[in-house]
Chains A and B, each alone.
Chain A
Amino acid sequence: MFLENTIETADISAKMSYIDYKKDKAYKVLKPAVKDEELTRLISLVATDKDKSAFSNLFKLVGPRIKGYLMKLGSNDIVAEDLLQEVMLTVWRKSETFDRSKAAVSTWLFTIARNKRIDMLRKEIRPQLDPMDPMLTPNEEESADDAYGSKQQSLKINDAISLLPDEQSKLIKMTYYEDKSHSVIAEELKMPLGTVKSRIRLASTRLKKLLEGTIHD
């Protein structure tokens, strides 16, 4: 289900890029990896110079996608617009915390959007890792930090999602897209909580291994 959905979404996203390309010649040379580089460039202009025209371009490039994502997660048009404003305000304020060597632009935007949704919709505290914590242990392995490496990583992520069996991708989908806790999923699927947890454990472990390229089935 999610499998088809993913392919369909990817397909639509390819079509959208084509429409964008038709609409705006500037997109002609902006293949996905290059586009990521362009976004990175805009974010660093915002970070170093508080460059407002770079920020405005950034908004035009990422705004519609972020809004689409928020709506996919169940927000209506008005709420998605409000959230988008908050996300972009955070992008403006925290642009210097974006570290290209640590995360892709999409990952950074995802974490901001995730946190804003928790703040605004759930009105909950979300304790989270302090990246400046002196206790922070160094990473065991260096992440793929050059553009080429990141591109390879994102290709693997697409592959990994489509390689999950139906039930597992459904559980992953409920976790990300429907913002559901394990107990809510258990209720909806009429499964014991322990079963839901162990199945998501299985699905996420498998996904992780696929993403890390340690299994290839």
Chain B
Amino acid sequence: MIKHHLHSEILLSYAAGNSSPSESLIVASHITSCSKCRRDVETFEKLGGKLLEISNSVEVDSSSLDNIMSRINNDDYSIDSSDVLGTSDIFKNIPVVLQKYLPDGDSLTENWKKGIGGIKYFDIDLGQSNKNTRARMLSIPPGKKLPNHGHEAQELTLVIHGGFSDENGSYDAGDVAIEDENNSHTPISDPKEGCVCLVVYEGKLKFKGLFGPILNFLKI
């Protein structure tokens, strides 16, 4: 049961089509398992459809119909079913939209980079023009306490496996934690399962704890 949801303005942006690639990734991943937020996105898409419906008609160029007819006459497109994932065990319980961007291996985190304290991470390449927004997978060992840190801007964390808790509550698979420049937190990963999560953030994290300068330097 999902307890922590995405804010409405984030879902609206996704539906309208102007969220960044990394934000789109976390929204799409969250609404795979969260039917409440998915329904909200569908409502906002319906609104988009309505806005299209009430738009003025503009005369279409006379060659336009011929062009499209000739394109479909020569179209040999077929839906490629081979890109349906979800078969590999290492991607079990990971939304298909997210699987596409993760490296293969014998275990989920085999090809991720090693950080300090047993933390592993993998930066997802979404070819973003804006390098300030990033999407990173994190794998944190059980019972690990991260130093207290604040954020320069919005940070969204989606739990994939295990979970964590912080000053604001506990987060399990499917839950999203939303942090911004106004707060800081000290997350502790689940004592048994640790935590695998997708973190999408703008700006840099600002670690305040003892290891802060090291973590800031490593940009973990």
Contact B49 A110 (CB under 8 A): yes
* B57 and A64 contacting across the interface, CB-CB below 8 Å: yes
Interface of B, helix, strand, loop or mixed by DSSP? helix
Closest to B129 in A: A124
Report yes or no: A128 in contact with B9, Cβ–Cβ below 8 A. Answer: no
Q: Across the interface, do A138 and B13 meet the contact criterion of CB distance under 8 Å?
A: no
* Chain A contact residue count (CB 8 A cutoff): 89
Also in contact, A9 and B56, with CB within 8 A (given A89-B75, A133-B95): yes
Choice from B24, B31, B46, B59 contacting A103 with Cβ under 8 Å: B46
Provide the residues of chain B in CB contact with A43, threshold 8 Å.
Answer: none
Nearest B residue to A199 by beta-carbon distance? B9
- B51 and A69 form a contact (CB under 8 A): yes
A104–B46 alpha-carbon span in the complex (Å): 8
Is B107 among interface residues, defined by CB-CB distance under 8 A?
A: no
Which interface class (under 10, 10 to 19, 20 to 34, 35 or more) fits B? Answer: 35 or more
Decide: A114 near B16, CB < 8 A? Known: A16-B57, A127-B97, A127-B101: yes
Chain B, residues 97-122, CB within 8 Å of chain A (1/0): the string is 11011000000000000000000000
Q: Give the number of A-B contacts (CB < 8 Å).
A: 234
A189 within 8 A of B: no
A interface SS class = helix
Question: Considering the chains assembled together, what is the distance between the CA atoms of A141 and B35 in angstroms?
Answer: 9
- List the A side residues contacting B75 at CB < 8 Å: 89, 92-93
Chain B positions within 8 Å of A9 at CB level? 54-56
- A12 at the B interface (CB under 8 A): yes
Residue A217 at the B interface, CB < 8 A?
Answer: no
Check A200–B9 contact: CB distance below 8 A: yes
Binds A, one of B64-72, B141-149, B186-194, B205-213: B64-72
**Cβ of B86: which chain A residues have Cβ within 8 Å of it?**
133-135
- Are the C-beta atoms of B40 and A208 separated by less than 8 Å? yes
0/1 interface trace, chain A 36-74, chain B, CB 8 Å (1 if under): 000000000000000010011001100111111101100
The CA-CA distance from A114 to B49 in the complex, in Å, is 10
The reply to whether B32 and A136 form a contact with Cβ atoms under 8 Å apart is: yes
Question: Which residues on the A side are within 8 Å of B72 (C-beta)?
Answer: 52, 55, 89, 92
A181 to B44, CA, bound (A): 16
A69 in contact with B49 (CB, 8 Å): no
In the bound complex, residues from chain A placing their C-beta under 8 Å from that of B180 are 194
CA distance in complex: A126, B79 (Å): 19
Q: For A181, list chain B residues within 8 Å (CB).
A: 13, 18-20
Chain A residues 99-140 with CB under 8 Å of chain B are: 103-111, 113-115, 117-118, 124-130, 132-140
Q: Point out the residue from B33, B71, B96 that lies within 8 Å of A89, measured CB to CB.
A: B71
Residue in A124, A139, A158 whose CB lies within 8 Å of B21: A124
Contacts of B44 in A (CB 8 A): 204, 208
Extra contacts, 8 of them, besides A92-B75, A154-B50 (Cβ < 8 A), are: A69-B51, A85-B71, A113-B52, A114-B48, A125-B128, A127-B98, A130-B28, A135-B94
The 30 listed contacts between A and B (C-beta, < 8 Å) are A16-B57, A59-B68, A65-B57, A67-B57, A81-B64, A84-B64, A85-B68, A85-B71, A89-B71, A89-B75, A103-B49, A104-B46, A105-B49, A107-B48, A114-B17, A127-B21, A127-B98, A127-B100, A127-B101, A128-B24, A132-B96, A133-B32, A134-B96, A154-B53, A161-B47, A175-B13, A176-B51, A180-B18, A201-B7, A204-B11
